Amino acid sequence: MNYQHAFHAGNHADVLKHVALLALCDALLAKPAPVFALDTHAGAGLYHLQADAAQRTGEASGGIGRLQRGLHPAIDRYLGAVADCGAMHGADAYPGSPWLLAHALRAQDRIACCELQPGPLDTLKAALGGDARVAIHGRDGYGAMKALLPPKPGGAAFNRGLVLVDPPYEAQLAEFDAAFAALRDGLQRWPQGMFALWYPVKTRRALARMQRSAAAMPAKSLLQVELLVRADDSPLRMNGSGLLVWNAPWRFDDTMRQATKALVQPLADGPGGGSIVQWLRSPA
Ligand SMILES: C[S@@+](CC[C@H](N)C(=O)[O-])C[C@H]1O[C@@H](n2cnc3c(N)ncnc32)[C@H](O)[C@@H]1O
């Protein structure tokens, strides 16, 4: 495995994923019942945008670097969390999904993070290992959906929560087969959970089969949320990204429809940018 998220932290795909992740957390926090979050492909948890890796690609300057407050409340919420991360870890700090989960969730909530590579795993342990709510596993995140769901950290059952699946797609489209097999299992084990799978968009044509498979999963609903920064017609680069969200919470579709529309203008590179928020399976 070669993928290092440090080269991509804060890019347009992270912006979409992290705005959506915080919106899902906020929906869960509307009730006092404890929440469980599983981050199957956690990464390092904390990045520095002035570090060599991020500077070499400059991707953050096409993502978080283009945003300002006032575009939409969900984007302000994300920018507020990034600012809090900067206040704690230095002005160039950028939070990974485990950090955002730990920041958003409460004392009664629990978080499990899986990361396979030793380097990011060490950074993740240094960033969040001291937080008693967070369990860090150096194991395969797909297998964790079998081992850790339904969630019973500390012996207590959790009815509410989410699973974020954010693989590196080194296997290209074949990654969907592995992700869907694990997600099917996870949805059967924990039908109350919300499950979100991030994916890159290169060409629209390549995504048709995976959308059909996604809609056939055992869940009440499936929402597709995409942000395109260019036309989705070239296999050579990431032209946008999306999230498939099974069992999305009430009004999450409205929030993401407005938030992604507000992200298009600042993040698009020329014509062809846009957003898609649609139900691939409507809630009953
Ligand atoms: C896209 S990055 C994660 C970024 C993170 N979710 C965030 O938003 O900040 C994907 C991570 O998954 C790790 N990884 C790859 N295959 C894995 C697997 N089977 N199980 C757990 N982690 C894996 C990689 O080492 C990499 O750090």
Model confidence at 284: pLDDT above 90? no
> What pTM, to 2 d.p., does this model score?
0.98
The whole-number pLDDT of residue 154 equals: 82
Residue 191 has phi, psi (to 5 degrees) of -65, -20
- How many angstroms separate the CA atoms of 149 and 222, rounded? 20
* Cβ-contact 224, 183 below 8 angstroms: no
Quick one: pLDDT band at residue 271, thresholds 50, 70, 90? confident
| Per-chain mean pLDDT for the chain | 96
Catalytic: 166? yes
Model confidence at 210: pLDDT above 90? yes
Q: Give 72-107 pLDDT, tens digit per residue.
A: 999 999 999 999 999 999 999 999 999 999 999 999
* Ligand 1 atom nearest to CA at 44: 27
Catalytic residue among 14, 39, 109, 166, which? 166
What is the whole-number distance in angstroms between the Cα of residue 258 and the centre of ligand 1? Answer: 28
As a whole number of angstroms, the longest Cα–Cα distance in the chain is: 52
Q: Give 111-143 pLDDT, tens digit per residue.
A: 999 999 999 999 999 999 999 999 999 999 999
Give SS3 for 86: helix
Model confidence at 157: pLDDT above 90? no
Q: Which residue has the tokens 């990974």?
A: 96
The whole-number pLDDT of residue 77 equals: 98
